[in-house]
Amino acid sequence: MKKLVSIVFVLLASISLMEAAIIELDGTFEDWNAVPPDKLFSANYGENAIFTNLYEFKLVHEGDAVFFYVEFNDNVFDYYENGKFTGNGYYVENFRMLISADNNPETGWSGDLWTTKGADYEIEGSWYNYSKGKPESFWTMLYTFAGSKPTEWKWEYTKYDVVTSADPVKLPNSHMAIEAKIDLSLFPVKPVNVKIGMCTVNADMKESGVLPQLIKIGDKRIPSAMLSTSRPQAPKHNPGQPRPRTQPAPKK
């Protein structure tokens, strides 16, 4: 009888663990440290990074959801506060996530930011509520690639709010961090092979970020691959030289 009770208890515990989300969207971030290494995919910027607004980008794929963590260098919202421009720092006008969903490089957008080709979807949005003059969980939109050729930047609006996020958090190092969840079941065609690249561009196009990073060695721009939950974990890069403050925006 004891053995049966133990088996039932273990079974119930297993079911409970499987039902529990890996990441809770509460803005505390401690649960990211408990993610098994084979489920955590991440990229940091390095000293040769061209666009360094983004400091770290992490992904966890679970069922129909992809949880992600993004950390910005400095407090990216210092530029705009209480409905007024402060003149301090800089701010993120929007963020973009490019998603290759079908593992086919011929069916989506292909640019010079990443070696991964064929982005089928774009998620675009902002974590700043301009009417309230403060950062918060706000809005995102899903677009489907509609270009006639892979290099044409053309997207059709598809759906509203496929991303759920906690409010942005200012970290002790003065960086800003956000955790969120992408609901893959809301896509027109559910992605079967998730590859994601993250970039940001602000309103005056001077401060940008790209992860996995685009680097420059000599006169060569060398892109990296998008983060993919179907490949080994991406290598991490330790920040080196002070980051540039006025870089051109990524090419569209």
Query: Which mean pLDDT values do the consecutive 10-residue runs of the chain (252 residues) have?
Result: 41 38 88 91 89 90 92 64 50 76 87 92 79 68 93 92 86 86 90 87 69 92 89 45 39 45
Rounded Cα distance between 208 and 5, Å, is 57
pTM (2 decimals)?
0.77
Q: Residue 63: its pLDDT value, please?
A: 87
Structure tokens that stand for 26 in this block? 């509460």
Q: Residue 239: its pLDDT value, please?
A: 44
Q: Residue 31: its pLDDT value, please?
A: 93
Which of these, 163, 140, 144, 167, lies nearest to 154 by C-alpha position? Answer: 144
Rounded Cα distance between 155 and 139, Å, is 18
Q: Residue 226: its pLDDT value, please?
A: 93
Structural domains in the chain, CATH included, are 2-228 (2.60.40)
Amino acid (1-letter code) at residue 153: W
What does DSSP assign to residue 63?
A: T
